[in-house]
Structure 1
């Protein structure tokens, strides 16, 4: 609720502080880079120190504090823009700090209900917050001001921190849920910091899987391009585009829960549907028939929901507990890199040749599908041999 509520108005907020479009793009782009790239550092830090709870709480705490502090920016005069940009970057730093540790903790406690279901429930609740935060901000802004909207977000932030601290007190060691959680490596067994950050020692299965999953992430056309297509082609009025996005978010939440449950029952083979869906998205969502376009948007929401939930559950099955935070950091960095390349490439191809865009996406998904099948077969053989 807190960070999605704030992110929904970062553009108007920075503009209100005097930022140009270039500055808005620079700050928000740098923020996303911070949130992804720095996970390479905080993943190994969590595994080396074992302070998963501390890093998780610190990361969420930065978000809970920095977002409401944005309400002070207009009172700081000429320093307001610099202060606002700093708070946004610190909020994104909080995401980098907490994400590897949070995923490692979730992978441990979700064993009790099934990792697919656990990550699916997490994603579904995440989407509830993604809906509620912007709606809360919109309501407060309509009644008062943008800055009051930021201040009000202190309430869900405070509730989240109380919940986290309560959970830490009740379950100080989530490893009790996970029999695979072993003793951390001794200092003599540790690699150098840079080697840890880039995933030295992680299995070939992990990297094959990370590349395959990242190919699906990078090739999934962004909703920004889909929304652009809907408006410039005159398929829908601008006011209707957010409603289509909201419907896709609902599909995303349902997909995370449904596929997570199936994953626990059937194994990772259910994820083979993702490259198929990703390949269908541009062919449908960037067409000229509204019905087909809406079907493409629903396919987009389904693929997005699985990518941000069940796909992460597989990482915990491929990597031993003492290195999971590191693995999640590396996984996110690879995903982020290919997402940037894919976003730029899709926009460039859309302006030049829609058939070429459809073809390129299809080829990348054939590669992703082959890598997934190979990884799942190797992993299954290794488990049988063990």
Structure 2
């Protein structure tokens, strides 16, 4: 990179929107798979604990490994290459999950491996993709930019589970729904290549800053350590993630308690994805208008999830799914705007990687914790996860107060 920037061929909003369309297609793939992961692994012989560990470990892989991929992107400047490789892993691994039922006793191990590899693909691409998007969204408002991107992303997250549900209903085989997700995966890669050709350097959307080094893209004189406020915010979100159950556990409960037929679990997940999109838009636009204090709603949403979603009454359980979707909408979108505002632009991918590592460690512990407490006593689960949100709220309040 140099400090001489060419005029972009696309407007910032056009780039943000097309990035959102890529995520739309990609989300059809991996959210379609995630919507059925709990019942799918159960059909291969997994217990609630195994589902919790695999899905928790998957989220951990998707997050913790960004501690490596984020700094790698900033050091090498290969944001686009890492983004494309990461998406490629998802496009390959999800359809391969369809092979698991035909492998006999090895099916569960193979299916779990594909879940983990798909999440690894997300780890590889996410810091680079978020850094690229942060550059594109800078001039339109990062709250709005991330919100619009997330809303488009969630259209795919809504459509993917419906595709899976339709294929399962049509064929009575979950593997058929997973195999069908190869189509939107290929579309995502093609669209990504188009954006790469149009805007190879996303820093063209940035305002002029201090000179950049040609090798890494990190500003000369930029601090080697990430700011303290960023670290406190990462800890706050980690505590929040520790208490936010994966949908694998929620889906397992819906099927195990005979509240929803397994074939309809993806439909419930699709509804949650629709709520997530609305939540991301609402809090993202509010972030640009009233600031980061909008994030104070997150711990309260997360604390309500186990209380509602694990109830044995269908109405309350579905209400819990809606609250879960709202919480994930804030956690996966609006929090990223504050991350970008807390760190230097040349350290964005590193910051997103470190931030995700905090969340990933919490996701691994949280997945196992939720699976264990689910079997032993749901009141204990509600209390323990609620305590995590109290810690998250205190840390977030400290960050907001320090920012003035």
RCO (CA 8 Å, sep 6+): is it higher in 1 or 2?
Answer: 2
2:202 corresponds to which of 174, 181, 185: 174
Name the residue aligned to 1:41: 68
Give the whole-Å Cα distance in 1 for the aligned partners of 2:131 and 2:184: 24
* CA shift digits 1:7-37 (9 cap, x unpaired): 4556788899xx7648x86876665443333
Cα separation, partners in 2 of 1:179 and 1:243, compared to 1, 3 Å: same
2:333 matched to 1:313?
no
Secondary structure in structure 1 of the residue aligned to 2:226 = coil
Tell me, which stretches of 5 or more residues in structure 1 are unaligned? Answer: 191-198, 381-386
Residues 182 and 322 in structure 1, CA contact (< 8 A), matched pair in contact too? no
State the SS of the aligned residue for 1:308: helix
Q: Could you state the TM-score of these two structures normalised by the residue count of structure 2?
A: 0.76
Decide which structure has the larger Cα Rg and report it: 1
| Contact 2:92-2:182 at 8 Å conserved across structures | yes
Aligned to 2:186: 158
For the residues of structure 1 that align with 2:46 and 2:186, how far apart are their CA atoms?
Answer: 32
1:261 and 1:105 map into 2 onto residues whose CA distance is 20
Q: Does residue 120 of structure 2 align to residue 93 of structure 1?
A: yes
Deviation at 1:139, TM superposition (A): 3.6
Identify the residue that residue 196 of structure 1 maps to in structure 2: none
Is 1:118 aligned to residue 142 of structure 2?
Answer: no
Report what 2:91 is aligned to.
64
The answer to whether the 8 A contact 1:221-1:346 is kept is yes
Structure 1 residues 253-296: Cα deviation after superposition (integer angstroms, max 9, x where no partner)? 11111111111111101111111222233344445666555444
CA-CA distance at 1:205 after TM superposition: 0.6
Structure 1 contact 182–321 (Cα < 8 Å) conserved: no
Alpha-carbon distance in 2 for matches of 1:11, 1:45? 33
Alignment length, in residue pairs? 369
Change (3 A) 1:59 1:271: same
Match of 1:218 in 2: 242
Per-residue CA distance 1:310-364 (angstroms, 9 max, x = gap): 0111110111111111111111111111122233334444555544444433433
Structure 2: gaps of 5 or more residues: 1-27
Deviation at 1:165, TM superposition (A): 1.2
Shift of 1:202: 0.8
Shift in Å, 1:302: 1.3
CA root-mean-square deviation: 3.9
User: Aligned to 1:309, what secondary structure does the other structure show?
Assistant: helix
Q: Distance in 2 between matches of 1:189 and 1:178?
A: 13
Query: What does residue range 213-252 of structure 1 map to in structure 2 within 5 Å?
Result: 213-227=237-251, 236-238=259-261, 243-252=267-276
Q: 1:59 and 1:184, CA in 2 relative to 1: closer, same or farther beyond 3 A?
A: farther
Is 1:47–1:322's contact at 8 Å kept on the other side of the alignment? yes
Q: Is the 8 A contact 1:185 1:322 kept in 2?
A: no
For residue 112 of structure 1, give the secondary structure of its aligned residue in structure 2: coil
Change (3 A) 1:72 1:182: farther
Query: Where does 1:220-369 land on structure 2 (aligned, <5 Å)?
Result: 220-227=244-251, 236-238=259-261, 243-286=267-310, 291-352=315-376, 354-369=378-393
* TM-score of the aligned structures, taking structure 1 as reference length: 0.79
For residue 172 of structure 1, give the secondary structure of its aligned residue in structure 2.
Answer: coil
Between the aligned partners of 2:90 and 2:69, the Cα distance in structure 1 is 16
**C-alpha deviation, 1:370, in angstroms:** 1.9
